[in-house]
Amino acid sequence: MIVRIMGEGQFDCGDVNDEALQRYDNEVEAAVDFGDDDAVREALARLRAFVFESAEPVADDYLGPSDFVIPFADAHIAQIKELLTGEGFIPDVV
């Protein structure tokens, strides 16, 4: 599973803990649903940090598509809502 973090590149999340990834994704979705900008930014920061720490960056010459997109760090709720699928950024896999 290839995840793009806008402005940061693509990451191979094939070997990351799916439950943890889903938990962080769900936190962002819940914060967006609640409408709290600060909570959204904090949850998004945790999701991004998890991907940075757990996934492998994709080679710079990789030209394939991303399976999912995570917004840039300072995205606003309206921008984030456009990327949500109803199951967060990443559909429930666990």
Residues in Cβ contact with 48 at an 8 Å cutoff, skipping those fewer than 6 apart: 5, 8, 70, 73
Residues in Cβ contact with 75 at an 8 Å cutoff, skipping those fewer than 6 apart: 6, 44
- 8, pLDDT greater than 60: yes
Encoded amino acid at 79, one letter: Q
- Confirm whether 94 is domain-assigned: no
Least confident window among 1-5, 34-38, 43-47, 81-85: 81-85
The number of folded domains in the chain is: 1
- Confirm whether 91 is domain-assigned: no
35 lies in which domain range?
2-83
- Confirm whether 93 is domain-assigned: no
94 pLDDT band, cuts 50/70/90, is: very low
How does pLDDT run across 24-64, given as a tens digit for each residue? 999 998 999 898 889 999 999 999 999 999 999 999 888 88
- Confirm whether 67 is domain-assigned: yes
